[in-house]
Amino acid sequence: MKRIVIITTGGTIAMVKGDQGVIPYEKGNLLISEIPLLKKVGIKIDLIEFSNIPSPHMKPSDMWSLSQKIDEILKDDNVIGVVVTHGTDTLEETSYLLDLTLKSEKPVVCTAAMRNIGELGTDGPRNVYSSVLTVLSPQASEMGVMVCLNDEIHAAREVTKTYTSNVATFDSPGYGPLGIVDEDNVIFFRKSLTREKILVDKIEERVALIKTFTGDDGKLLKYAKEIGYKGIVLEGFGRGNVPPSVANVVEDIVEEGIPVVITSRCFKGRIYPVYAYHGGGADLRKKGAIMSEHPIGQKAKIKLMVVMGKTRKLDEIRRYFEPNISRRPILYEG
Ligand code: ASP
């Protein structure tokens, strides 16, 4: 019998308000399968509890075992697709890891809630229902892993949480949603053309994400290497620029064979080595840093964990992050 599997991991969607504040509810995940709207869909739905944790507790090893579990489940011909419920805080990381690493091309839609189970206007049930409809859409398998909340469908690679509290928190800055769920209709507008699959049999969990700041002397970055991180994502400014002392540390770290991937605190646009001053992107690249063309630091961290599961060679890692930078410009010859 054809079916959809909902895999629950926890998050506000499975939380209730207690005396001290909002906390995980031990039966919170189970309630998801009892959402009355789901009966309307007319397809069998199975629920598997993976975990019941707040998403800031989600570790790279959890994301990786979730990916393996989903691939295992999707091997069953009767399983049409999977919906993952998760906390909103790190949903963009887990969904992107799934997008990069899942072998199956069957639809996988991640969802969450901003309002807990008992809260007025709770958004969880509607988001789960919309996600199930999205899995059932004939176009869903062409879209990669998706994130569906608040009637919008986003590509896992592009989506980020933009608002601490509002139900309209997920956005894909610079891209926009892939589509919408309107009433009971799933309508796709576009596909993401920048999706990648990096199939690996392990990931590197020891990847740090460090944000630079004005006046940074580079000591925090140095420390990250000293305490054993195997790869570092450095969130710089603008096009991918950092203060001079940070640039010197980047050079030392790269010389030891540790990849340093540069991202930006701007969440739109592309990292591009334009500036050749001390600490500018072009200078950093000359010193051996890798430019992440996609600017969001937490996305680059996930990608570096996955890429390092495949290779440790800096020039090979560079190719995954800089698909366009070294490409020659196409000149008009007509
Ligand atoms: N802190 C919660 C979590 O990410 C928030 C949420 O679920 O939206 O688990």
Is the shortest distance between the CB of 114 and ligand 1 below 6 Å?
yes
CA of 147 to the centre of ligand 1 (A): 15
Question: What's the per-residue H, E or C state across the chain?
Answer: CCEEEEEECCCHHHEEECCCCEEECCCHHHHHCCCHHHHHHCCEEEEEECCCCCHHHCCHHHHHHHHHHHHHHHCCCCEEEEEEECCCCCHHHHHHHHHHHCCCCCCEEEECCCCCCCCCCCCHHHHHHHHHHHHHCCCHHHCCCEEEECCEEEECCCCEECCCCCCCCEECCCCCCCEEEECCEEEECCCCCCCCCCCCCCCCCCEEEEECCCCCCCHHHHHHHHCCCCEEEEEEECCCECCHHHHHHHHHHHHCCCCEEEEECCCCCCCCCCCCCCCCHHHHHHCCCEECCCCCHHHHHHHHHHHCCCCCCHHHHHHHHCCCCCCCCCCCCC
CA of 114 to the centre of ligand 1 (A): 7
Q: Which atom of ligand 1 is nearest to the CA of 114?
A: 8
Kindly report the protein residue whose alpha carbon is nearest to atom 8 of ligand 1: 88
CA of 235 to the centre of ligand 1 (A): 24
Is the shortest distance between the CB of 245 and ligand 1 below 6 Å?
no
CATH classification code of 207-321: 3.40.50.40
Fold assignment, 3-188: Rossmann fold (3.40.50)
Active site (annotated) includes residue 160: no
Q: What is the pLDDT of residue 111?
A: 98
Active site (annotated) includes residue 88: yes
Q: What is the pLDDT of residue 29?
A: 84
Q: What is the pLDDT of residue 330?
A: 54
The active-site residue, picked from 9, 88, 101, 212, is 88
* Most informative mutation of 88, 149, 169 for ligand 1 (most atoms within 8 A of CB): 88
* CATH 3.40.50.40 residue window(s) in the chain: 207-321
Residue-level pLDDT, tens digit, the chain, 334 residues: 999 999 999 999 999 999 999 999 998 888 888 888 898 899 999 999 999 999 999 999 999 999 999 999 999 999 999 999 999 999 999 999 999 999 999 999 999 999 999 999 999 999 999 999 999 999 999 999 999 999 999 999 999 999 999 999 999 999 999 999 999 999 999 999 989 999 999 999 999 999 999 999 999 999 999 999 999 999 999 999 999 999 999 999 999 999 999 999 999 999 999 999 999 999 999 999 999 989 999 999 999 999 999 999 999 999 999 988 866 555 665 5
Kindly report the protein residue whose alpha carbon is nearest to atom 3 of ligand 1: 87
Q: What is the pLDDT of residue 334?
A: 54
CA of 315 to the centre of ligand 1 (A): 37
